[in-house]
Amino acid sequence: MRRRVVVTGMGVISPLGTGVGALEAGLREGRTGIRRMDDWGAVAAMLTRLAGPAEAPEVAQLPRKVSRTMGRVALLSTVASQHAIDDARLSPEEVSSGRVGLAHGSTHGSSSASEQWIKTLVEQRGLLGLSGTTYLKFMSHTTAANLALHFGIRGRTIPTCAACVSSSLAIGQAFETVRSGAMDVMICGGAEELHFSHAAIFDVMHAASSRYNDAPDRSPRPFDRDRDGLVVGEGAGTLVLEEYERARALGKTIHAEILGFGTSCDGTHITNPSRDGMRSAMELALADARLAPSDVGYVNAHATGTSVGDVAESQATRALFGAQVPVSSLKGHLGHTLGACGALEAIASVRMMHGGYVVPTRNLEHPDPACADLDYVMGGLREARFDVFMSNKFAFGGLNTSLVFRAPRD
């Protein structure tokens, strides 16, 4: 028998604020977290000046023995995870019982710590001034390792360092772990800290938005004919997943149930997405959930505002769902939070489902004719009652993930 898996805790830090309430309020009000980064002008030849910074994490109470190995990305994930653990009413004893596990990741570790290490090593050609704890801040699995240490997690721990699907992959892996009975509870999600090098990567690839440097509220523009690339953001999102009977017996608040998870690889190109690969992940998630496309009431799109990505995703979505299901992306509000986007946008979609509305794709005014014909949610909030939604996220390497959530029910 497959055990049912429900969401009992959610925590976020985002460009729209800290806490699920702040994220939801910002989305409902149509606000943007995108800002102009004037200090990036010091980076020679970099064109973009746009990013979505988050507020500083609340870390005053963290003991030195754990915080000394945390860069900003781990601090962000720690605060978001504490909010989720508190929301799920998990005691410290439960968390360290061995029946609670962890799945968490980021694109990579702390970029600011990596910069500090490399700069010191290269400029001096020596080790003076280097600290052993610096590596622990920028190692690829720093969020998972530091969360396990801080919260005393002794159960199964899965680092998911997979670029833009880091947190959606973590949720999927956690879902399968609880459903199988390997763990009773999983803390899962992802984080990303903001650093100019993230923007530089996409700038070099001609995939970062620069046309709207003087109008940061106008970019990014997912699916829009006038889009010119993505905008990087930062933040962290964590969900607590529990076995349904356990959660019900303990009187937990159940935010949602996860019904299905699908993941696939294009196997064709390292950066250019494949609409067939994207569609395969969606189909796998629906099959896992034992649902038909017509059962889905909303699709939360990845849609970052790049030319090739938006077109391929729209075509994959249209091929599976037709033009009936409402579709929107949250990148216009949050930017592309990379390793955090899967968790942040899933949490936001859960809140939409409870509120009976869909947040529009911010800055989408004229859908690109090259994109498939879909029911794009544009303008203001749309009233929409739905009890099943799909959240799709895609990454370099042709990595595709799709999650299916349902409203709580007995």
pLDDT beyond 90 at 321: yes
The distance in angstroms from the start CA to the end CA of the chain is: 17
Give the chain's mean pLDDT: 97
Using CA atoms, how far apart are residues 15 and 12, in angstroms rounded to an integer?
A: 10
Average pLDDT in the 149-164 region? 97
Using CA atoms, how far apart are residues 336 and 107, in angstroms rounded to an integer?
A: 12
Average pLDDT in the 238-254 region? 98
Rounded percentage of the chain residues whose pLDDT exceeds 90: 94
pLDDT at res. 129: 87
Closest CA to 401 of 271, 265, 215: 265
pLDDT at res. 60: 62
pLDDT at res. 62: 78
Residue pair 283/292 in contact (Cβ under 8 Å)? The answer is no
Using CA atoms, how far apart are residues 57 and 113, in angstroms rounded to an integer?
A: 17
Identify the three-state secondary structure at position 371: coil
Segment 89-104, tens digit of pLDDT: 999 999 999 999 999 9
pLDDT beyond 70 at 205: yes
Full set of structural domains in the chain with CATH: 5-249 (3.40.47.10), 262-397 (3.40.47.10)
Burial of residue 101, with CB atoms counted within 10 A of its CB: 0-12 exposed, 13-18 middle, 19 or more buried: buried
Between the alpha carbon of residue 126 and those of residues 118, 120, 139, the distances in Å are 11, 8, 20
- Strand order of the sheet with strand 232-233? 35-36, 50-52, 232-233
pLDDT at res. 132: 87
Our CA angle for 356, 357, 359, nearest 5°, is 155
Residue pair 228/209 in contact (Cβ under 8 Å)? The answer is yes
Number of helices (H), then strands (E), belonging to the chain: the values are 14, 17
Segment 36-62, tens digit of pLDDT: 999 999 999 999 999 999 998 877 677
pLDDT beyond 90 at 410: no
Residue pair 318/354 in contact (Cβ under 8 Å)? The answer is no
Neighbour count for residue 410 (Cβ, 10 Å) = 5
Please report the DSSP string for 135-172 in residue order.
HHHHSTTHHHHHHHHHHT--S-EEE---GGGHHHHHHH
Element (H, E) at 122: helix 111-124
Scanning 218-299, the segments in alpha helix (DSSP H) are: 244-249, 275-289
pLDDT at res. 56: 84
> In the numeric block, which tokens belong to residue 226?
């006038």
Residue 38 DSSP code:
G
Our CA angle for 264, 156, 136, nearest 5°, is 90
Identify the three-state secondary structure at position 72: helix
Residue pair 401/168 in contact (Cβ under 8 Å)? The answer is yes
Label residue 256 by pLDDT band (50, 70, 90): very high
Model confidence, pTM: 0.97
Average pLDDT in the 306-323 region? 98
Average pLDDT in the 112-126 region? 93
pLDDT at res. 184: 98
Residues forming the active site: 164, 302, 336
Closest CA to 164 of 118, 210, 230: 230
pLDDT at res. 64: 80
pLDDT at res. 1: 76
pLDDT at res. 59: 72
Average pLDDT in the 99-123 region? 95
pLDDT at res. 388: 98
pLDDT beyond 90 at 66: no
Our CA angle for 109, 114, 119, nearest 5°, is 175
Identify the three-state secondary structure at position 284: helix
